[in-house]
Amino acid sequence: MNRKWRKILWTSVFAVLVALAIPWFLWGDSRVVAGLPLWLWWHIGWMGAATVAFYAFTRSGWQLLAGVTRG
């Protein structure tokens, strides 16, 4: 995958992570799972997804968007 497409891919991944970080569709939902509100489980899962995405980004995309050049 060339540099341009990798940059588009990582930008898209982060845009999705930001856009769905707040579960608007769960506001006012009173369901409880394992003693915690469903919206809290969404945040727990989403932080896990963000962690995996950032780990992958540091391994393959950091130099594209962070302006780091290899010496």
Average pLDDT over residues 36-65: 87
Q: Which helix (H) or strand (E) holds 36?
A: strand 36-37
Cα 56 from Cα 69, distance rounded (Å): 18
Cα 40 from Cα 31, distance rounded (Å): 11
Please, which pLDDT band fits residue 6 given cuts at 50, 70 and 90? confident
Cα 1 from Cα 63, distance rounded (Å): 15
The DSSP letter of residue 30 is -
Confidence (pTM) = 0.72
Please, which pLDDT band fits residue 49 given cuts at 50, 70 and 90? very high
Cα 28 from Cα 15, distance rounded (Å): 25
Give yes or no for residue 51 having a pLDDT over 80: yes
At residue 67, the pLDDT reads 65
Give yes or no for residue 40 having a pLDDT over 60: yes
At residue 32, the pLDDT reads 93
